[in-house]
Amino acid sequence: NVDKDILLYLEGLSVSFDGFKAINELNLYIRDGELRCIIGPNGAGKTTMMDIITGKTQPDSGSAWFGQTINLLELDEPAIAQAGIGRKFQKPTVFEFLSVEENLILAMPDERSVISLLLAKLNGEQRDRIEEVLIQVGLKEQALIRAGSLSHGQKQWLEIGMLLMQKPRLLLVDEPVAGMTHQEMDRTAELLISLSGSHSVVVVEHDMDFVRQLAGKDRTVTVLHQGSVLAEGSMDQVQNNRKVIEVYLGE
């Protein structure tokens, strides 16, 4: 009896490393189209949680469902990506020596080799998709520029664009604004907010100003601590939560 609006459903997840519980009875429910920020002190289990969702780490117990029918714990990493979960790591990994557009071409779901893909003539649908993604991530003017000459922020957006080429339903984004200028942060918040609705977006972030920007007044923020959810609610609610304050003061 899973709520139909829930796209990502994690329940009772636990993982231990050498007897240490990195994830401890974690429950997390992400609605279809929701933008959710996940915060928590170092070692709270944020990375391990993302690793479980993407199939990099197998939990000792619990369940993880994507939509109504996909049991994530039965799939390996490539199958999970193919099922529609895209993950963006903190550091951008774009092909610096290729153009922005070529980076997007290589990110298309396609079995062909790099060289064949770059030499292939794109069909109309592929052209349209690339155009659409360039506009979405604000890099239309930079389409023919070498990715290596983009700013740090632009590289991050290109990498988000590369994920979008695979048409994911859920985007997992790890500390997207580390090292960005204020302007780039604002633009990144706009981009992630614009992607929600048509995608679910889970953002793990340390920068509280950025979390406040993303969460606004109404979106839910989840605080992880010692591998489980310590608090969940609006930014105002979690910031005024006694347990949350204690955990952050104790860091």
Residues that bind ligand ADP (CB under 6 A): 17, 22, 40, 42-48
Cβ nearer to ligand ADP, comparing 22 with 81: 22
CB count within 10 Å of CB 118 equals: 13
What is the spatial distance between Cα 192 and Cα 243, in angstroms, rounded to a whole number? 29
- CA torsion 44-48-53-54 (nearest 10°) is 140
Cβ nearer to ligand ADP, comparing 125 with 251: 251
Question: Minimum Å distance from CB 48 to ligand ADP?
Answer: 3
What is the spatial distance between Cα 118 and Cα 141, in angstroms, rounded to a whole number? 20
Among 184, 241, 180, smallest CA distance to 206 is for 180
- Among left, alpha and beta (phi > 0; psi -120 to 50; other), residue 204 is beta
Question: Minimum Å distance from CB 201 to ligand ADP?
Answer: 18
Cβ nearer to ligand ADP, comparing 85 with 130: 85
Question: Minimum Å distance from CB 144 to ligand ADP?
Answer: 37
Give me 212's structure tokens. 């406040």
User: Which residues on neighbouring strands pair with residue 223, listed in sequence order?
Assistant: 39, 231
Cβ nearer to ligand ADP, comparing 34 with 174: 174
Cβ nearer to ligand ADP, comparing 104 with 173: 173
Among 213, 191, 186, 187, smallest CA distance to 201 is for 191
What is the spatial distance between Cα 205 and Cα 235, in angstroms, rounded to a whole number? 13
Question: Minimum Å distance from CB 21 to ligand ADP?
Answer: 8
User: Exposed (0-12), middle (13-18) or buried (19+): which is 61, by Cβ within 10 Å?
Assistant: exposed
Cβ nearer to ligand ADP, comparing 48 with 103: 48
CB 72 within 8 Å of CB 63: no
Cβ nearer to ligand ADP, comparing 24 with 136: 24
Question: Minimum Å distance from CB 247 to ligand ADP?
Answer: 12
User: Which residues on neighbouring strands pair with residue 32, listed in sequence order?
Assistant: none
Question: Minimum Å distance from CB 17 to ligand ADP?
Answer: 3
Question: Minimum Å distance from CB 251 to ligand ADP?
Answer: 11
What is the spatial distance between Cα 196 and Cα 189, in angstroms, rounded to a whole number? 11
